[in-house]
Chains A and B, each alone.
Chain A
Amino acid sequence: MINKGDVVRTGPVTWEIPKTYRKDMRVPVRIFADERLLNAALKDKSLTQAVNASTLPGLVSHVTVMPDVHQGYGFPIGGVAATSYPEGVISPGAIGYDINCGVRLLASQIAYEEAEPYLDDLALQLDENCPSGVGVKGSVRLSVDDLEDVCRNGSNWALNNGYAWEDDIPSTEEHGRIRNADPRDVSPRAMERGRSQLGTLGGGNHFIEVDLVEKIFDHEAAEAMNLSEGYLVLQIHCGSRGFGHQICSDYVRDLQSAVRKYKIQLPDRELVCAPLNSPEGEAYLSAMSCAANYAFANRQVLVSHARRAFEQTFAGKVANYELTQVYDIAHNMGKIEDHQIEGKQVRVCVHRKGATRAFGPGFSELPEKYRHLGQPVLVPGSMGTASWVLLGTEGSMLQSFGSTCHGAGRTMSRKKAKKSIRGDQLRKQLMKKGIRIHAGSMAGLAEEAPHAYKDVDAVVNVVTQAGIAKKVARLRPVAVIKG
């Protein structure tokens, strides 16, 4: 375990584990945290896992650790690492099983006071329209050809098949489509799993949440996003379902032999990797891109279901029940990007696992309404606490490979959380706070208790103080649907 004495303070909310801490480190580890969040990170294996990640071949500059970091497997959740392209490595374990797990935010023109009498019905309609839970099948059944189309085209498949509005696409990271995704790099087993799960939420920490905009911090940005204080918004948090899980499992297993072939020494087998320019690395990047596109399409189909739920609940009761897309962002992904490192433009593969891309103003991919502001960043809370809308900054480009935090971050194990409260008790507690809960599993709900997570406001204060994000709005939950 790493002790506080091993960590050097480099700024008010920045710390470093120097490269000299362990012989096999190739780069230092940079941590964004206040004193309290650092102490929390020191309690589990988060920072040991970050040090392990710093041994990956071809790393550039430093491994970044976000304030919502917690222990994962191999690579910490809340970690960012960039490897030089194309000679550095790509590691499926440093991206995770839920490839392109991410968050989508939609804005409404429905005031909370106007909606309040219908919120129970809305929660029910969302639950009924959006399939959730273990092994659940969606209403969309894909042929193999359809699935290959989803793999290649992501959100554009959804647009072509009536699940998206034109305006949704530019407000999605990469416009909802990663290029160079070739379904021939996906196993038959993954294809089989993917055919029945499009448009499903899954279980675990995934959710659909209705929030109200509690406070706006940046009025210009909020206006561009259609966010107004006191109005409802909708968040969708999910990923690539069994399709992505199978792709990661396949490649973590296959790349065990690649590590032997390329004589790569690793402190943890879950960090298995292959050079980006090797046949194994190219195949994984392509398959990962297929899963990423599947996840974009998955959230898009769920948006279509959610729009139906809003219509069923509010048609004839409010003037405008449309949901317009604010943004959709991934927080488990490997991306080929150009970054300025020590004054030079360098092409790298940025691994973000439990970390969000947070590009600053001027980024050409952004729709015009956001281009001068920076990329919207969505930071979901923990069911009973706030969520945040942020903006990417120039500081994130300089300090963290254009990345910032992705959520509150767990601080308590699932085992302890389940012992601390029963699911039905938690549901009652949240109901008393005005938060309606629909959950498929009471045990699963207890594992996700808000007190099992860090203080999301503290996390957001760190990233804004460090200058790797900027506050736009704080959201408060009023209804949560969990698998």
Chain B
Amino acid sequence: MELPEFYELEHTADWALQINGASLSHLFHSATLGMFDLMGVKLADDGGLDRKIDLEAFDLEELLVAWLEELLYGVEMRSVGVTNLELAVEENSSLISKFTEVPISSIEKEIKGVTFHGLEIKGTRGSLEAIVVFDV
């Protein structure tokens, strides 16, 4: 059975997100979708700007946090989300992304930070998972 890309887990105060992916790129893609879903982000139908972001980190967990924080920065400062996302995440903790940055038409909730709490990318090739906890 195919696992859902993401779903919310119980967390008393904050938000915990289970993410799944067949590859690192897929896992990071799932985290992106899940985070925007938690925030209740709806994108405008038109407008958009093609962008690229490349990142490197010490390990994959740091890379995931850095990627999600990069997106949160866009949400807060430019009020934009992403669509047409293409991600290439490598085992050496590097990321290359291409996406269209689209204005947000509505958003329900704010995320203060992407935490490292219990963050560990686990699994084998073909089935990767992690839990990301967000401070809200």
Interface residues, chain A, with chain B CB atoms under 8 Å away:
44, 46, 70-74, 77, 93, 96-98, 134-135, 189, 192-193, 202-204, 242, 245-246, 248-249, 252-253, 256-257, 268-270, 272, 410-416, 441, 443-444, 447, 483
Q: Is B10 an interface residue (CB 8 A)?
A: yes
Contact B115 A93 (CB under 8 A): yes
Knowing A73-B115, A98-B112, A268-B118 are in contact, say whether A193-B12 is a contact too (CB < 8 A).
no
Q: Which of A71, A204, A411 contacts B109 (CB 8 A)?
A: A204
Contact B113 A97 (CB under 8 A): yes
A180 to chain B, nearest CB (A): 24
Knowing A72-B14, A414-B11, A441-B109 are in contact, say whether A189-B115 is a contact too (CB < 8 A).
no
Contact B62 A253 (CB under 8 A): yes
Residues of B55-109 at the interface with A, using a CB-CB cut-off of 8 Å, are: 58, 61-62, 65-66, 69, 73, 75-77, 79, 107-109
Knowing A135-B76, A416-B10 are in contact, say whether A73-B110 is a contact too (CB < 8 A).
no
Nearest B residue to A443 by beta-carbon distance?
B108
Contact B117 A270 (CB under 8 A): yes
**Which B residues lie within 8 Å of A204 (CB)?**
109-110, 112, 136
**Which B residues lie within 8 Å of A74 (CB)?**
115-117
Nearest A residue to B118 by beta-carbon distance?
A268
Nearest A residue to B115 by beta-carbon distance?
A73
Nearest A residue to B15 by beta-carbon distance?
A414
**Which A residues lie within 8 Å of B39 (CB)?**
134
A87 to chain B, nearest CB (A): 25
* Complex Cα gap A96–B14 (Å): 12
Q: Is B24 an interface residue (CB 8 A)?
A: no
**Which A residues lie within 8 Å of B113 (CB)?**
97, 245, 248-249, 252
Q: List 30 A-B contacts (CB under 8 A).
A: A46-B12, A70-B12, A71-B13, A72-B13, A72-B117, A73-B14, A73-B133, A93-B116, A97-B113, A134-B76, A135-B76, A204-B110, A245-B135, A248-B113, A249-B113, A249-B114, A252-B116, A253-B65, A253-B69, A256-B62, A257-B58, A268-B116, A269-B61, A412-B12, A415-B8, A415-B9, A443-B40, A443-B109, A447-B109, A483-B110
Contact B40 A70 (CB under 8 A): no
**Which B residues lie within 8 Å of A483 (CB)?**
110
* Complex Cα gap A413–B135 (Å): 13
Nearest A residue to B59 by beta-carbon distance?
A256
* Complex Cα gap A297–B110 (Å): 21
Contact A413 B117 (CB under 8 A): no
Name the residue in B11, B12, B66, B116 with the highest tally of chain A Cβ atoms < 10 Å from its Cβ: B12
Q: Which of B8, B12, B15, B112 contacts A245 (CB 8 A)?
A: B112
Q: Is B119 an interface residue (CB 8 A)?
A: yes
B11 to chain A, nearest CB (A): 6
**Which A residues lie within 8 Å of B13 (CB)?**
70-72, 77, 410, 414
Knowing A44-B12, A135-B79 are in contact, say whether A444-B108 is a contact too (CB < 8 A).
yes
**Which B residues lie within 8 Å of A44 (CB)?**
12
A32 to chain B, nearest CB (A): 18
A341 to chain B, nearest CB (A): 29
* Complex Cα gap A454–B108 (Å): 25
